[in-house]
Amino acid sequence: MPSHPADHPKHFETDSMNIPSRWDTWQFAFLTLWSRPETALPVLEWLATAEIPPNSVLYWLDNSGGSMAEKLRAEWQQRLRHRFRKVVWVECGEPFRSKSGETIKDPRRHVHVARLYNLIFPRVMEEAVVVLEDDMVPPLEGVRLLLDRMQDSDRVGLVAGVYRDRVNPGKICAALDKSRWVNAPDYDALPKEPFEIGMTGGGFTLLLNRALQQVLPVHCKAFAEGHTLGWDGKLCVDLTALGYRLLAHPGVMCAHLCPEIAAYDAGLRKDA
């Protein structure tokens, strides 16, 4: 006699396409610390056109000292408010001003930036944090690509886009060493797949917020020989100490809008 279907165990197939992803279920905090009016429009254009998760908040830290005119701010708030659940504007006072003879490596600059991020990081309650610096233009699908790698493991605390280092443009702004900013990969010789790093610049970075909150406040570290590890490098050291993995994603190449990189790119075109 034929058996009844109920006599057989049921086999359920998992359709991964129907499983809600972190893209749809997590809340995302986008943090942009803005102080350079000359690069504002490309960065704002990215915010207005990039793929943004549906549950996202934009925290806009204005450190321009008033150079962001109210009219411009109002126009962009109007354009961005439909892309984010809310736009939070935080006034952060005057930008960093270099003294005569100081370089971009000056410790005072690092301390200034760390102080600004400490104004906002403790206020962020969303599950994921996207740090977008004011001179960075990632690919439009950049957040999704970074998140794809963060979903691989709960121990991935940070996934970073890659971009040229303004001090050494032939390298990316990241290091393989887990304690000091040394052994930076060559920009033109990166592997195709994401790879583990020791530290990265904060230019375009996706952070697991529960990991971030464990290492606050962010701060810098000065070495005896005169080097300073900025807030982003020290953050990476602290995350690694807690057992989190840090990844760089060579599929997320970002344009770094700074004079040093512009001059380097001009030199490459001239030599071509």
**Residue 151 DSSP code:** T
The bridge status of strand 56-62 relative to strand 28-34 is parallel
Compare 208 and 272 and report the one with higher pLDDT.
208
CATH ID of 22-271, from 3.40.190.10, 3.40.640.10, 3.90.550.60, 3.30.390.50 = 3.90.550.60
Q: How confident is the model at residue 81 (pLDDT cuts 50, 70, 90)?
A: confident
Q: Is the pLDDT of residue 71 over 70?
A: yes
Nearest to 171 by CA among 145, 146, 153, 197: 197
Compare 97 and 196 and report the one with higher pLDDT.
196
For 222-240, letters b (16+ CB in 10 Å) and e give eeeeeebbbbbbbbbbbbb
- 38-54 per-position pLDDT tens digit: 777 899 899 999 999 99
Question: What pLDDT score does 107 carry?
Answer: 75
Q: What is this structure's pTM?
A: 0.88
Nearest to 251 by CA among 197, 177, 199, 195: 195
Question: What pLDDT score does 102 carry?
Answer: 61
Nearest to 94 by CA among 64, 68, 116: 64
Least trusted range by pLDDT, from 68-72, 161-165, 254-258: 68-72
Query: Can the peptide bond before residue 107 be classed as cis, meaning omega within 30 degrees of 0?
Result: no
Residue ranges of domains in the chain: 22-271
Give me 20's structure tokens: 């809600």
- Burial-class residue 34 by CB neighbours within 10 Å (0-12, 13-18, 19+): buried
Which residues have a Cβ under 8 Å from the Cβ of 262 and sit 6 or more positions away?
Answer: none
Give me 135's structure tokens: 């001179």
Torsion sign over Cα 218, 144, 172, 40: negative
How far apart CA 156 and CA 178 sit, in angstroms, is 15
Q: Is the pLDDT of residue 146 over 80?
A: yes
Mean pLDDT of 164-169: 94
Q: Is the pLDDT of residue 3 over 90?
A: no
Nearest to 64 by CA among 84, 44, 86, 85: 44
- Residue pair 160/195 in contact by the 8 Å Cβ criterion: no
Q: Measured in whole angstroms, how far is the alpha carbon of residue 66 from the centre of its chain?
A: 25
